[in-house]
Structure 1
């Protein structure tokens, strides 16, 4: 009976949280824009906007934790202190980007252009000036400028959430950005146990046993392999395969470590 009541509470709290998130996405531009208009256009206004999104996302994550919906842990967060990093992360759940941005006051993202049609996200995307992925050359130019300004640039190479039980499959866009900009990669490994808010699990399908757990592991930076004499397209294909293998191995190693603990 106690477990059932706890599940009902977490179901209500989850629904409340995502309703509030959606309303927040709709309302954020209305209360943010007047505050931002007193700041001249340019880098200073951009930094204020991204800090505001960061604060809202941090509130959302901490609220979900306080309501007993989830626990989250971050390992080696000090590795993110250096500005101007290209962060590549796997994508197991709906709130991966929310967790990452909640940790990074000056985060930039490459987002699916389809999100510009999402009422609860388009205002946030426009406000923070995130990079839409519809024009590859524009992505490269904006990514270069963003990293030069000291932002953390977040890319999910899968392009969408991982389907549980399937092998990780990366698109070549992230590798192409890294190679074209000659930018080292900061891998971030995200695990969610039990699988929750995945591509094939609705928001209300929450674990019966208790809060789900998110662990974000910030891994050592990876230098780019030598690509001398190779066309970028071939080098990007090879680097994508290497990253797929690396993330798959790291996830398997972490799962094995957890199982033995």
Structure 2
């Protein structure tokens, strides 16, 4: 069977892609209406795991359909080894708007740090509040809530760049992740998100058809232990990311490669 050129494949797969995104939006809207009713009546110990598992399940179904239909090629299996680990921070690079969906789908214990404005979004807000995701409008409150969640055995998904990558391979890191690690005494597991697609990167609008299929490969990097000097650790992790991403750009693509190393100081 003859393989279609990528441009022709993109044109053929664009309608199913946007139909899938529309379906995800409708599912999110429906769940948020339910979450709006559940939030006032469910105790936090019930609401938190329920909200997170529903979100993870919805995103995992989204990725499964996208993979089966050929719209996307995703290898995130390396995250499965972390699924049940308690009190863990996952720090990743942030090339596209889809990154949080990739991580949360495989990590149903995890919470995200979200822009405060998204907590009012009709498609995301109520579900995020039910799952006790963490808003970033106040740095002090954000750190306090993140530390509390980690001490309760949760996981924290965080993008130290603070926003999607503007200056590849990496934006300068923002403070916060290493301070949270220090206060919660939680290790930081680095995660690399590799993609060849600009889709939903900074400046790429949702309606613009991307080259298809979209390809995402996730790799586990080194794990860092919290240290008293959180500023020095932040610099160390940023330098590690830059070196590893520059090095991987010169190598051949690999499967979901597990680079996890012993905890470093």
Gaps of 5+ in 1: 228-234
Structure 1 residue aligned with 2:92 = 89
Q: Which moved more, 1:91-100 or 1:245-254?
A: 245-254
Rounded to whole Å, the distance in 2 between the matches of 1:260 and 1:75 is: 13
- Structural RMSD (CA): 2.6
Which structure 2 residues correspond to residues 226-245 of structure 1 after superposition, within 5 A? 227=228, 235-245=229-239
Equivalent residues, number? 251
Whether 1:7 aligns to 2:14 is no
Closer/same/farther in 2, CA of residues 150 and 160 from structure 1, 3 Å limit:
same
Q: Which has the higher helix share?
A: 1
Equivalent residue of 2:76, what SS? Answer: strand
Equivalent residue of 2:91, what SS? Answer: strand
Structure 2 residue aligned with 1:214 = 216
CA contact (8 A) 1:84 1:149 kept: yes
CA contact (8 A) 2:150 2:184 kept: no
Whether 1:254 aligns to 2:243 is no
Rounded to whole Å, the distance in 1 between the matches of 2:118 and 2:130 is: 13
Deviation at 1:207, TM superposition (A): 4.3
TM-score by length of 2: 0.84
Closer/same/farther in 2, CA of residues 78 and 173 from structure 1, 3 Å limit:
same
| Equivalent position to 1:101, from 98, 104, 108 | 104
Gaps of 5+ in 2: 256-265
Deviation at 1:164, TM superposition (A): 5.2
Deviation at 1:161, TM superposition (A): 0.6
Structure 1 residue aligned with 2:62 = 60
Greater than 6 Å deviation, 4+ residue runs: none
Equivalent residue of 2:111, what SS? Answer: strand
Closer/same/farther in 2, CA of residues 214 and 202 from structure 1, 3 Å limit:
same
Describe the superposition over 1:182-208 as per-residue Cα deviations: whole angstroms up to 9, x where unpaired.
322111111111333211222344444
